[in-house]
Structure 1
Amino acid sequence: MTDGAPTREDPLAATLSEGLGGPLGERAGRHPWWTPVRVLLALAAVVVALGMLQKAPCYSDTWSDSDARFSQMCYSDLPYLYTGRALVERAWPYSGDETLRERYPEVMEYPVGISYWAWGTALVAQGLTGWPDLDERAGADPGSLFGDVEVQREIRAFVIVNALGFAVLTLLAVWLLARTHPRRPWDALWFAVSPALLLTGLVNWDLLAVVLVAGATWAWATGRPLLTGVLVGLGTATKLYPLFLLGALLVICLRKRRWRALGLAWLGAGVAWVLANLPAVLTGLEQWRVFWSFNSERGADLGSLWLVAAQAADLDITPSTINTTSLVFFAAWCAGVFVLGMLAPETPRLAQLGFLLVAGFLLVNKVYSPQYVLWLLPLAVLARPRLRDQLVWQAGEVLYFASVWWYLGGLLDAGGGGDAGFYWVAIVLRVAAELYLVALVARDVWRPRHDPVRRRTGRLHESPASR
């Protein structure tokens, strides 16, 4: 079980290990209890705990200090959406009740998986804090509820419940990633100790989709195409991007002529997505549509190259222009990934193709929030499990994470007035770091001898059922 040990095959990891006893030796034995997976889970638990601690400055005052949430970089969407989306009144996210919608015109702008989870955790938080009187709240101004002492206690409970849930999901994702290539469990190390995971895990609910993507890669590697599709479908019902894994499966199955596996995966994804969305559609079709209309109508937003172009060049770029241009560019990107995958000397791995597709989507997206790094993380660590490359990529993400909060807090404003140019630089550097990793993964696909997963034995470490 020492295949893929970082200090044995990763030059930078081997160099850094010199002060701790050096690389793993050929005669190294196995500890009777501390297996690689258990070590990874322990490391991930530490990172999750540090991530919670990183949000402590905001938690202490229930995210009421508008300056601290940016200067301390501890912002989270969760407390604001608890009151802003009627969770504070235990309202079903897809309720069309006229009185409710008059008081709370803004509907949950996320796919159904996130809405269900947020509603469920709100119920748990209120149960833990004593089930408040909703009749009293119905007579209050929704805008005043955030400052209510009782509500603030619920908000803290809501964040804690979500944080504990995210902790479980993170550990599950680590386990799944470590089991994707059973002879290479250490590839999951760069996920378990990721600084991006530490900083962004509690910003929003993106970890819900992350664990489903990790599950899909595990299911495919272990020869379970139907389960792969189900997990992709549930992931798409939680965040749109897992859908792109179906494109990666298409390339793999075309090359290997695995028509049955492709059909099962696509069927499982379609059925799972429909069933997941059915409760929302049946109870509030208009509210369900908000996610789709919200994204089509939004303009150039934080983190995107569109924002840099609009601000730096003083351009008025309409949402329709962004939608059309992004669609054309992404279609061309997908075509390029398809050609690369079909012409590569060996069949690419799911994580490689999935990473390239999701990265292309993010590069042209009209918004690139700091927590979107989590979309790439499980795919990136399986596609390119090398410390140097993960550090370069995640350094760009960490730089952007700090910059976006300082930008929103006005800390990057130019001394003489004008735009915050450093924020544009941070966006460009983040994109450059991502393109660096994209280039390496594309090279690994085109020249498999560079692929760290294949290099050691000249073949892919996976179960026979998935080849």
Structure 2
Amino acid sequence: MTVSTSAFDDTDETPEPGPEPGDLIAPSLDDPLPNLGAEGVGGVMGKRARLRASVLARGTVAFVLIVLTLLTMSVGIGMREPCFNTAWTGGGNQQYTHMCYSDIPFMYQGRGFSNDQVPYVSTNQSDYLEYPVVTGAAMETAALIARHIPGDTNNQGRWFYLITTWFLLAFACITVVALAGLNGRRPWDAAMFALAPGLLLNATINWDLVAVGLAAVGLLAWARKKPVLAGVFIGLGTAAKLYPVLILVALVMLCWRAGKMRQWSLCLAGAVGSWLVVNLPFMIQNYAGWLYFYKFNDARGADWGSFWLFLEYNPIHPIVFSASRITLLFAVLLAFSCVAIGILTSLVRFRPRVGHVVFLVAAAFIIFNKVYSPQYVLWLIPLAVIARPRWRDFLIWQVCEVVYYGAIWLYLADLSTPNRGLPQVAYDMAIGLHLAGTIFFCVQVIRDAIDPRRDPVRMSGMDDPAGGVLDQAPDVYGFGSPAPKEPEPELEQVPSGSAAAALS
């Protein structure tokens, strides 16, 4: 929006220059919460100070973000120390009471890695793997190293965890660097990922960071207007965890409105191609072993942390659904949510940003999914960074996730040793809090999409830095009118899909 300068007409003072288009956004001047905490790190940035978007400046930001990410993950890995010493190889519920549980060491013996069994190749059904093939490849790579470690299988299982953490550290660093590139002049927003409580607590529970990193690189490639490369990484991410395919669902909504379906088709082709390249060999080698991941998820009932378990544990009026009924309802509710998000994308005055739509689609998937493992929050954190980079709302949501993280382990401790943990009613309340926190952040994102004056990114003078071909693109369908074929030469043309231009 334009601010009148008439107040300066009769004075001798020259107004302070504002940030130029090439300047990086200083968090202490942009976000109220970092502004309050700036005194601890030297104070709020001065009015005359400038952060030029040079290669050196961006490299410095990336280096600091990587250091913060490594520090956060190091604390999280250190929290596993009680389990590393005894709980992963012994009995009891110490892994729950100390909240240091991880799936990783159990998979070494539980899925045949300690016996030289190769995922999807072994025909022993007890060794079938309930993970997609890229995750299986990461597991097998770590196992190849762990099997050469001296000692018994328990010791090798510990090393299997340690080796896997190095992979996860690498993908976490890849994610934070990609996020710094996705937010244009706002690279410091990626610190929300680097310092996220969800990253600290959940990074090494499972292999989810592999898919998170691949999805982030795919989004960065899309932002750099490389749709085929973006599709390749989205396809690889989908071959690690299913959720990255939702990026394609979000992009088709935006590309349809902007008339960029050709670019979306190229992205889709890249995704399908890369997914087939890594999946076809195992489909041919052992189709039953490859299919086990999909059959396993289809047969699941109401599982930990899910909306369906919340209904089942509800003390007022418990509602129980069969596994097949939940599968059907999940598909219906997810489809309904995507249709609603598509309608929102088409009807709002200014086309939503990529971050808005991707976050909403992924959040709908998580809310209605059959299971919510604590590490699933890692899927949403990078999308939250590009959807609504505001620390207050982000931390409100993260506090809800921290409460749920503690609740799930204490409830499992109670199941292991009755009356020594969290009762079922309290755990049900924690599930409700997790759902409420996610819905709260969704509401903030929807409000930004409807009113760009609330959107921190667009109020920074940008349209959609993660949009790639969508950034500053005019609308073809939806609320906006098609761009004129022959624009008037004396008038400055503003793309109807560009909220930043309209608000400037």
Fold equivalence (TM over 0.5): yes
The equivalent residue for 1:79 is 105
> Which stretch of structure 1 is more off in the superposition, 114-123 or 314-323?
314-323
Q: Which residue of the other structure, out of 135, 140, 145, is the alignment partner of 1:114?
A: 135
Higher helix fraction: Structure 1 or Structure 2? 1
* Counterpart contact for 1:407–1:413, Cα < 8 Å: no
Cα distance in 1 for residues equivalent to 2:244 and 2:282: 20
1:248 equivalenced with 2:244 (yes/no): no
**Could you say what secondary structure the match of 2:131 adopts?**
coil
Deviation by residue 1:98-139 (Cα, 9 ceiling, x = unmatched): xxx1xx625111111111111111002223x15xxxxxxxxx
The equivalent residue for 1:363 is 367
> Which stretch of structure 1 is more off in the superposition, 304-313 or 291-300?
304-313
Amino acid at match of 1:275: V
The equivalent residue for 1:216 is 218
Deviation by residue 1:332-390 (Cα, 9 ceiling, x = unmatched): 10000111111122222222111100100111111111000011111011101111011
Amino acid at match of 1:81: M
Q: What is the correspondence of 1:179-328 to structure 2 with a 5 Å cutoff?
A: 179-312=181-314, 313-328=317-332
Deviation by residue 1:28-62 (Cα, 9 ceiling, x = unmatched): 36697882111111111111111110111111126
* Counterpart contact for 2:239–2:275, Cα < 8 Å: yes
The equivalent residue for 2:120 is 94
- Give aligned-pair identity as a percent: 37
Amino acid at match of 2:414: G
* Counterpart contact for 1:184–1:461, Cα < 8 Å: no
Cα deviation, residue 314, structure 1: 4.0
* Counterpart contact for 1:413–1:420, Cα < 8 Å: no
The equivalent residue for 1:25 is 46
Change (3 A) 1:302 1:319: same
1:14 equivalenced with 2:55 (yes/no): no
* Counterpart contact for 1:414–1:420, Cα < 8 Å: no
Change (3 A) 1:463 1:35: farther
- TM-score between the two structures when normalised by the length of structure 2: 0.84
Rg larger in structure = 2
Cα deviation, residue 415, structure 1: 5.7
**Could you say what secondary structure the match of 2:414 adopts?**
coil
The equivalent residue for 2:66 is 41
Cα distance in 2 for residues equivalent to 1:124 and 1:215: 27
- TM-score between the two structures when normalised by the length of structure 1: 0.90
* Counterpart contact for 1:225–1:264, Cα < 8 Å: yes
Change (3 A) 1:433 1:87: same
Change (3 A) 1:62 1:125: farther
Cα deviation, residue 315, structure 1: 3.8
**Could you say what secondary structure the match of 1:303 adopts?**
coil
Where do 5+ consecutive residues of structure 2 fail to align? Answer: 1-21, 472-504
Cα distance in 2 for residues equivalent to 1:380 and 1:221: 16
> Which stretch of structure 1 is more off in the superposition, 22-31 or 112-121?
22-31
**Could you say what secondary structure the match of 1:4 adopts?**
coil
Cα distance in 2 for residues equivalent to 1:37 and 1:27: 24
Cα deviation, residue 96, structure 1: 4.2
* Counterpart contact for 2:359–2:384, Cα < 8 Å: yes
Cα deviation, residue 66, structure 1: 3.1
Change (3 A) 1:154 1:62: farther
Amino acid at match of 1:287: G
> Which stretch of structure 1 is more off in the superposition, 249-258 or 388-397?
249-258
Amino acid at match of 2:307: L
Change (3 A) 1:388 1:278: same
Where do 5+ consecutive residues of structure 1 fail to align? Answer: 131-148
* Counterpart contact for 1:62–1:156, Cα < 8 Å: no
* Counterpart contact for 2:354–2:466, Cα < 8 Å: no
Q: What is the correspondence of 1:399-438 to structure 2 with a 5 Å cutoff?
A: 399-410=403-414, 420-438=424-442
Amino acid at match of 1:119: E
Amino acid at match of 2:223: A
Cα deviation, residue 461, structure 1: 3.9
